[in-house]
Amino acid sequence: MAPWSRWRSAIWFGLALVSISACNVFDRELPVVDRPDAPSDATSSTDAALDAPTDTAGDPPLTCDPTKPFGTAVLVDGLTSSSEDGSLRLSPDEKTAYFFSARSGHQLLYTASRSRVFDPFDHVAVLANVNTGNQYNPSITADGLTLFFASFRAEGVGDNDIYQATRSTTATPDFGDVHPAPNVNTLSSEVQPYVAHDGTTLYFNRTVASRATLFRATGSVAGGFRNAGAITELVGPLNDSDPVPSADGLTLFWSSDRPNGAGDLDVWQAQRPTTSDPFQNPAPVVSVNTAGLDAPSDISANGCRLYMTSTRNGRTGIYVATRPQ
Interval 306-319: pLDDT, tens: 999 999 989 999 99
Please write the tens of the pLDDT for every residue from 257-304.
Answer: 999 888 889 999 999 999 999 999 999 999 999 999 999 999 999 999
Q: Provide the CATH number for the domain around residue 18.
A: 2.120.10.30
- Asked if the model's pLDDT at residue 40 lies above 70, the reply is no
> CB atoms < 10 A from the CB of 309, how many?
25
What is the pLDDT confidence band of residue 38, given thresholds at 50, 70 and 90? Answer: very low
> CB atoms < 10 A from the CB of 128, how many?
15
> What pLDDT score does 151 carry?
95
> What pLDDT score does 48 carry?
54
- Asked if the model's pLDDT at residue 29 lies above 80, the reply is no
Alpha carbon distance 234, 257 (integer Å): 13
Q: Concatenated DSSP letters for 260-299?
A: TSSSSSEEEEEE-SSTTSPPEEEEE-GGG--SS-EEEEEE
Count of structural domains, the chain? 1
- Long-range own/partner contacts, residues 56-61 (CB < 8 A, 24 or more apart): 57/116, 58/116, 58/118, 59/116, 59/117, 59/118, 60/117, 60/118, 60/304, 60/305, 60/322, 61/304, 61/325
How far is residue 324 from each of residues 63, 126, 266, 307, 312, measured CA to CA in Å? 9, 34, 21, 15, 22
Please write the tens of the pLDDT for every residue from 192-228.
Answer: 999 999 999 999 999 999 999 999 999 999 999 999 9
Q: In this structure, what are the phi and psi dihedrals at residue 184, rounded to the nearest 5 degrees?
A: -120, -15
Q: For residue 67, give every residue at least 6 positions away whose Cβ sits within 8 Å of its Cβ, in sequence order, or none.
A: none
What is the pLDDT confidence band of residue 39, given thresholds at 50, 70 and 90? Answer: very low
- Do 54 and 119 touch, CB atoms closer than 8 A? no
- Asked if the model's pLDDT at residue 325 lies above 50, the reply is yes
- Asked if the model's pLDDT at residue 43 lies above 80, the reply is no
Owning domain of residue 309: 3-322
- Asked if the model's pLDDT at residue 16 lies above 80, the reply is no
> What pLDDT score does 270 carry?
98
Q: What is the mean pLDDT of residues 76-95?
A: 96
